[in-house]
Amino acid sequence: MRELLYQINEHLKTVTFIIIRDNNDKSEAISDYNIITLKFDDIIKSVEELKLDFQRYEDSASKLAELIPRAEKPFKNEVDELKSLSIYNSNLFAHYYSNTLCNNAFNERKIVNNSIFHLITFRSIVNKSKSNIYSLVNCIKDTLFANWSFKNQGEDNPLCIEFNKPIRYYRIGNRNEEYIVADAALFNFFFDFKKALNKEQDEDIINCSSDDNDSDGSYTSYDVSRESSYENNHCKQIECQTFLFIPRKRKKRAKNDPCKDPVKTIQCYFRSKTHKLHIQFPNNNEPEQELKKSKKKFYKKIKNKVEEYKIEKQSTICPEMKKLLDEIENDINKEFENIKYKYENMN
């Protein structure tokens, strides 16, 4: 996959993706073979699936980085291993990130191979190539796990983000279709997708004024401005946009009821525990993997209960469901503490 283009339809709540597989594919991109249309809910589900499996991507990126200056066969075997994941063929984002990581690794390996006779600088070139791969996977991780709500942005800490959003136009019949080219980490896609979701929730996110003084509470909105290409200290590429996040008054919202989507509640709680193990044992993924082995029993328990409620046409927002959620969260926490205690004593 050479490029990924996307077009968000807020009215239909869908995103149309165009896969550009190679240079010759651009002129014939508008075809059934290259077009994928996903609903908002399917995209959210795919992202959540990828988050649960992302440790595998980090591990593969580390192995690819270390194999860059070594024999070709182990390097290609690791590329094939990354592409053989079951999620690779069923999840568009996993497919895109896998291709991005593999293409980046091949490019860096080519640079290293061309520099093999540079005896003095060869080691620094290898280290730079490794660093580039690690930087890419970290950028993907930061994007995938980012808090796109921006609700925790402090009033005294405005955030400025710059990125490039090239646009492609395709002539289809009597109309022009506009598609945005996704970047390597899909930052611009997730940014635009979150805006669309917020609009669906009746949030007027883009608002350059700040005269909404009749409400209490504080959330964050942002101002969008284009910087001239000749100004200093700004990206000089065409279509570069600067997004400045500024605090403004917003209405307070009631917290989401965890019983509204019990399965998602448990999934989020379980992921938070696996992430804590990942942070506490950064050089050892065994604790995290051990906890993940137990996730099926927790997920199955809540899914079975939700299914019962659906059959009986009963709302999940009830004291019994809240009690069950607390029980499952306590069980997850016990498993987490046992694993944590086990590996702390091993060190």
Domain ranges of the chain: 3-144, 160-173+182-249, 262-346
In terms of average pLDDT, the best of 79-93, 156-170, 179-193, 333-347 is 179-193
Whether residue 65 has pLDDT greater than 70: yes
Q: What is the mean pLDDT of the chain?
A: 75
Whether residue 210 has pLDDT greater than 60: no
- Residue 6's pLDDT is what? 92
User: Cα(37)–Cα(14) distance, rounded to whole angstroms?
Assistant: 7
In tens, the pLDDT along 167-198 reads: 887 766 666 778 899 888 898 899 889 888 87
- Residue 61's pLDDT is what? 82
Q: Average pLDDT of 55-73?
A: 84
- Residue 232's pLDDT is what? 37
Q: For a pLDDT cut of 70, what percent of the chain falls above it? A: 72
User: Cα(169)–Cα(213) distance, rounded to whole angstroms?
Assistant: 41
Confidence label for 200 from pLDDT (cuts 50, 70 and 90): low
- Residue 240's pLDDT is what? 41
Greater pLDDT, 196 or 248: 196
Confidence label for 43 from pLDDT (cuts 50, 70 and 90): very high
- Residue 237's pLDDT is what? 36
Whether residue 26 has pLDDT greater than 60: no
Residue written as tokens 């000089």?
236
User: Cα(223)–Cα(209) distance, rounded to whole angstroms?
Assistant: 8
Report the first-to-last Cα separation within the chain, whole angstroms: 43
Q: Average pLDDT of 306-319?
A: 86
- Residue 35's pLDDT is what? 85
Longest dimension (CA), the chain: 73
Confidence label for 204 from pLDDT (cuts 50, 70 and 90): very low
Confidence label for 114 from pLDDT (cuts 50, 70 and 90): confident
User: Cα(130)–Cα(114) distance, rounded to whole angstroms?
Assistant: 15
8 A C-beta contact, residue 127 and residue 173: no
- Residue 222's pLDDT is what? 33
pTM above 0.85, yes or no: no
Whether residue 15 has pLDDT greater than 90: yes
Q: Give the alpha-carbon dihedral of 56, 60, 61, 62, to 10 degrees.
A: 100
- Residue 316's pLDDT is what? 87
Residue written as tokens 């990354």?
82
Does residue 218 sit in helix, strand or coil? strand
DSSP 238: T
Q: For a pLDDT cut of 90, what percent of the chain falls above it? A: 6
Q: Average pLDDT of 312-331?
A: 88
> Where do the H-state alpha helices sit in the chain?
40-52, 54-67, 72-83, 86-90, 92-114, 122-144, 187-200, 262-280, 286-292, 295-311, 319-346
Confidence label for 162 from pLDDT (cuts 50, 70 and 90): low
Q: Which residues of 177-198 are buried (b: 16+ CB within 10 A; e: fewer)?
A: eebbbbbbbbbbbbbbbbbbbb
Please state, in angstroms and as integers, the Cα–Cα distance from residue 163 to each residue in 17, 95, 199, 235, following that order: 20, 23, 22, 8
Whether residue 24 has pLDDT greater than 80: no
What are the structure tokens assigned to 135, written together? 């930087």
8 A C-beta contact, residue 172 and residue 30: yes
Confidence label for 217 from pLDDT (cuts 50, 70 and 90): very low
